[in-house]
Structure 1
């Protein structure tokens, strides 16, 4: 029996073999490169584009932390294939491989590689576990539709081990867990105590437009204030390059301010959704990765509620 998901996968398989498609598409493999960030910390930097057949959905930053018995992986990528590549890469850094996994939140590009590590603890906030269980299948259908054969064999594997906020030790590494929200209903940021590096998850984007399908912009801004007050040695965002200056937090906050103001003024001026989507972007935000797609997606996600809050209601 061919399920809807298998059918979508077969469609993707056919597309990848068509003449004119790139060598990367034809091979359907991820070539992951670890970037040393600090002692015992490596970053795998994702593309700043949206999901495409060209990038295979590898748009997320994953982090490897050296633990006592192996490597702690923070976020596992968008697919089984990616998780397998991550597993192979980890063994080149530490022959013992991966000892523990942490998921910062429940969006599919951050946890769909989990099934490769099902034998290890997979930690997340309790709310994140519930969201991954509730929304994972819907995310999977969308990912198969977008990425086709890149997703072959991927099954939703939610995190299962609850991690609490505050100072903790995972595989001998001292971390501070910050349970926050705004990008989603449950967003974890992690401060590595030995290096001062802040692993911000998708609370922070850098030179890449933030995604907002689950966003509460006011709560997100509050969480950014909490992160800025930490004054970390460097910020490792969920998407975009490492930031040793703190600019990533400020840039994300400025973008969210501009987005909220643009949507509110557009509603007050009586614009419809299509007109808002066609609004020109300021130069500083137009140059971000995944634009104008992410702005247009934000309009579709957020503008209806903004209209309801701004426009007068009849009796």
Structure 2
């Protein structure tokens, strides 16, 4: 350990960070552009929270800690919480307590900022994965457990091939039935946007409203957003391409709890999948839902298959 130097991020470390990331996190490779966009240009990025280990000039490990500097909505800064969105250590150094030392330093950084709890890795807006994928990174899962992290809940990622997708007749019948009852299903228009962003933020998640707003500013096509109304009132929405401009990435997607059980989500989901297929997309995927949630059941019935599992973990800092 005497030959290993620990310090925070400095400009110029980016190439080694991306290189070691791709060497270690083989199921989640990243490009320099994505690293720049998701980490360095994040409004919450603080160089002091990115703890690095070097042997000589060679980067051998990283643990990244972050806290909210910019509120997701209103003035809420979640002042009790911090996050570790990612960590990695070169395989040949994992028995030398490099990761543990980096984690101690990252945790101390969060404590000094008054944080009482740290999560892996449910950070918004720029999470890479929602939690630890224990199947693909067993050593990483063991490292978190060894250092006091506990599972808060689990999530699954799902994918669906659209190559043979067709809108089934029963969906068409259900949609027509709901239309006759006063529901409408349309592509979003400018007149819908203020209400849509408020609805997604207040009923579901502030990150959803942020994602919709930012992607529209960055060129998301209005035809990629579908909305549902009941007698004129917005009750649901569905879109694709809402994160990082990846068109095959599905979501966000939600229906007001008071309207669930009526097939509104099913209609929006299948209309969106049809839209995606019409634009020659071959796959739909997303990173995060509860396997046994109502959304999880809906996705399974629509032919989505679980492709990864994640454990969202936390640790109390005091």
Name the TM-score, length of structure 2 as normaliser.
0.29
Q: TM-score, normalised by structure 1?
A: 0.29
